[in-house]
Homo-oligomer: A and B are copies of this chain.
Amino acid sequence: MSTPTVNRRILLASRPHGEPAATDFQHDETTVPSPGPGQVLLRTLYLSLDPYVRGRMSAARSYAAPMEVGDVIVGGTVSEVVESATDDFSPGEVVLSYGGWQEYSLEPAEGLRRLDPEVAPVSTALGVLGMPGFTAYAGLLEIGRPQPGETVAVAAATGPVGSAVGQIAKAKGARTIGIAGGPRKVEHLRELGFDEAIDHREPALAERLEEAAPGGIDVYFENVGGPVWDAVLPQLNEFARVPVCGLAANYNATELPEGPDRTGQLMASVLAKSLTLRGFIQREFAQTHFEDFLADMSAWVRSGEVRYREDITEGLDRAPETFVGMLRGDNFGKTLIKVS
């Protein structure tokens, strides 16, 4: 491969107000840098698009520091080593990194994880065998703790986190309810083995959920918020657990919804039903559970107990529109950009 000279990147041009607009993204080109001691130059193969990045585009402090205007947009990547100034990596090796929305990135060797294409397609390190899969695993098993015979519900259930939640819950002997948007996704939930598949666009969502969970819901893995949460809350059983992993329905919100204020009502439900609501970020469990996850999840993928779907778009230039579409729910599986 010839030595690259131009690095195309996408920067945060302005903080979005509501749904990100094309003008919030700036496409630019710089010179590809050279690695200093201990560094490697990486060429991005796959870029992961994830809902949490919308949060980091805003100035408000969330669980991670916001990006600054002018920064390369952040994101996990699967990349190939192009040049190495360390003995730890050689050109041609494939690694998991956090290169962001650009064709080339310079990274310290430490913190990179080498991927073996013989074991699994390398793109899975951004999905079922990566952060989304681990988010599902840790949140469901450490916080949700489903018992055999209990009922587990999850929304955005064809997404990379939701689909893993449902299939892991099933592998652990739970009854599973998947919620997703539109007939194609609902059909896919059935293919994935969910016991019940519900379209959240149905007008009678609450009634449909009540039918699907005649014994109530013991674990609700929360990654959307909004009307789905409103419909789930009354169905939760005493001692139900709610791992709070994401609130995609709110990410583009620009103001609080109209009243009345139902905060007190939510707290009253927490009290009356001895509920557990527990927010979490997967990194909390990384040290203690990632190895177990890799072993378990690789086995489930091999056995077919956990299946995954990737939604791959070609070309870095299409990252902004694909990202916005994902926030709307247009994606169908793990959203990836094939960069080169």
A residues lining the B interface (CB < 8 Å): 61-63, 222, 225-226, 229, 238, 244-247, 249-250, 253, 255-281, 284
Task: Name the contact of A260 in the complex, choosing from B229, B259, B271 (C-beta under 8 A).
Answer: B259
Q: Is the CB of B62 within 8 A of A272?
A: yes
Report the Cα distance A264→B259, complex, angstroms: 12
Q: Is the CB of B275 within 8 A of A278?
A: yes
* Given known contacts A250-B264, A250-B268, A260-B256, A276 and B277 CB-to-CB distance under 8 angstroms: yes
- Copies of this chain per assembly: 2
Across-interface contacts of A61 in B (CB, < 8 A): 272
Across-interface contacts of A268 in B (CB, < 8 A): 247, 250
Chain B nearest CB from A68 CB (Å) reads: 19
Across-interface contacts of A276 in B (CB, < 8 A): 276-279
Q: Is the CB of A271 within 8 A of B245?
A: yes
The 10 closest A-B pairs by CB, nearest first: A259-B259, A256-B260, A270-B279, A271-B279, A277-B277, A257-B261, A274-B279, A62-B272, A276-B278, A250-B264
Across-interface contacts of A275 in B (CB, < 8 A): 277-279
Name the residue in A63, A244, A259, A266 with the highest tally of chain B Cβ atoms < 10 Å from its Cβ: A244
Task: Name the contact of A247 in the complex, choosing from B238, B250, B261, B267 (C-beta under 8 A).
Answer: B267
Q: Is the CB of A256 within 8 A of B247?
A: no
Chain B nearest CB from A136 CB (Å) reads: 16
Q: Is the CB of B257 within 8 A of A264?
A: yes
Report the Cα distance A268→B223, complex, angstroms: 11
Report the Cα distance A238→B238, complex, angstroms: 26
Q: Closest chain B residue to A238 by CB distance?
A: B63
Q: Is the CB of B264 within 8 A of A261?
A: no
Q: Is the CB of A274 within 8 A of B225?
A: no
Q: Closest chain B residue to A276 by CB distance?
A: B278
Q: Is the CB of A257 within 8 A of B259?
A: yes
Chain B nearest CB from A250 CB (Å) reads: 5
* Given known contacts A260-B261, A266-B263, A271 and B226 CB-to-CB distance under 8 angstroms: no
Q: Closest chain B residue to A274 by CB distance?
A: B279
Across-interface contacts of A255 in B (CB, < 8 A): 260
